[in-house]
């Protein structure tokens, strides 16, 4: 049974590491990995394949840059060509990037079943490109693997019970990865030791979403809060290429410790040793929880509402006052892990077991 897997961005590499590893244990599945090229910086792409021992992609379309429509169209054309060449029994996509939508559309138009890992997530913000990608991908998928009960409920409300598909609650493959690779982090990671950091002495920050970096007012509010916090303790900020360009073109000066994007093991060790996380990333919100860190989210909504409901995450938008208030609240808050929210590290095994029966 042949499966063509499409990846293109850091979170997808992490997820693929889990599912691909479980596929490799089965004699009945032959996987072909296609890298769209969406994340083209070595620190954002190649390093993940090397560190996480993911099989080298069979194909790399090297498509990056350009507007959403241009990028997605080019990816569709490249993926379509590989589908016709390989003739897979199914195409598997992860998450909500342009690579995800391009792969799903190309497969659906060629009547190849689409498998969507991380289905059913909703921010209910249609201004987000990711929200458009995930809604459209869900609608044309035959197998929808959901990470949480809320994701299943979202699909039920949208009428997926009436469609010809399968919705399966399997858990979150990101938790599988965090648990599997955590033991290797201490020996594989370098950045934490190079920076000579002490456990609990720093805040870990990431900021890359266009809604923040493309809006001077929002980005100004974020920097105001971060600079004020930086007067009190160290802030480690792995800078996404888009954000790095913003600092350069606008000659922005700050007291933040800006470092290059880090590999997965470096990020794990930073997470394990930081005081708390401040981010606009979707995946990092969960990874903070996996390593028992509170999280301040610089977005106006989140797909991971269970973390907000449990008091592990506070949504602050790009409001400096709210960010600072949330920080003060977490200063005295004790992290209390609740019920298992994300499947306990068995999501990849459940996905592959289902595929073996389905295919």
Mind telling me the catalytic residues?
208
Instruction: Return the H-helix or E-strand segment holding 35.
Output: strand 30-35
Q: Beta 202-206 vs 166-169: how paired, if at all?
A: unpaired
Token pair recorded at residue 241: 């290429």
User: How far apart (Å, rounded) are the C-alpha atoms in residues 279 and 118?
Assistant: 20
Q: Contact at 8 Å (CB) between 107 and 5? A: no
DSSP alpha helix (H) spans, the chain: 10-24, 46-51, 68-86, 98-109, 129-139, 149-157, 173-188, 191-194, 210-213, 216-230, 241-249, 264-273, 282-290, 305-309, 320-331, 347-358
Q: Contact at 8 Å (CB) between 258 and 237? A: yes
Burial class (CB in 10 A: 0-12, 13-18, 19+), 73: middle
Return the sign of the alpha-carbon dihedral for residues 66, 47, 266, 294: positive
Q: Is 252 left (phi over 0), alpha (psi -120 to 50) or beta?
A: beta
Token pair recorded at residue 107: 């497969």
């Amino acid at each position: 049974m042949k499966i063509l897997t499409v990846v293109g961005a850091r979170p997808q590499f992490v997820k693929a590491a889990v599912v691909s590893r479980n596929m490799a244990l089965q004699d009945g599945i032959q996987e072909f990995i296609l890298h769209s090229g969406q994340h083209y910086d070595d620190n954002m792409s190649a390093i993940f394949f090397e560190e996480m021992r993911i099989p080298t992609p069979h194909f790399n379309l090297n498509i990056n840059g350009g507007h959403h429509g241009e990028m997605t169209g080019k990816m569709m054309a490249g993926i379509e060509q590989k589908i016709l060449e390989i003739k897979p029994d199914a195409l598997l996509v992860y998450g909500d990037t342009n690579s995800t939508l391009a792969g799903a559309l190309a497969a659906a138009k060629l009547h190849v079943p689409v498998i969507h890992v991380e289905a059913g997530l909703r921010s209910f913000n249609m201004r987000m490109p990711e929200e458009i990608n995930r809604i459209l991908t869900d609608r044309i998928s035959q197998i929808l693997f959901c990470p949480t009960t809320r994701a299943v409920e979202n699909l039920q409300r949208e009428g997926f019970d009436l469609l010809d598909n399968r919705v399966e609650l399997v858990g979150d493959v990101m938790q599988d990865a965090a648990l599997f690779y955590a033991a290797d982090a201490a020996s594989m990671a370098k950045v934490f030791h190079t920076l000579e950091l002490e456990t609990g002495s720093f805040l870990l920050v990431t900021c890359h979403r266009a809604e923040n970096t493309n809006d001077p007012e929002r980005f100004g509010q974020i920097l105001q809060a971060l600079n004020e916090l930086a007067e009190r303790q160290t802030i480690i900020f792995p800078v996404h290429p888009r954000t790095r360009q913003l600092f350069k073109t606008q000659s922005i000066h700050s007291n933040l410790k800006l470092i290059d994007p880090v590999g997965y093991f470096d990020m794990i060790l930073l997470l394990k040793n930081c005081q708390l996380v401040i981010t606009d990333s979707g995946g990092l919100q969960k990874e903070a929880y996996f390593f028992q860190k509170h999280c301040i989210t610089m977005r106006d909504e989140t797909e991971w509402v269970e973390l907000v409901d449990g008091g592990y995450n506070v949504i602050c938008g790009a409001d400096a006052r709210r960010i600072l208030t949330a920080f003060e609240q977490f200063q005295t808050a004790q992290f209390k892990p609740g019920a298992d929210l994300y499947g306990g590290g068995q999501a990849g095994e459940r996905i592959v077991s289902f595929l073996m029966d389905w295919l």
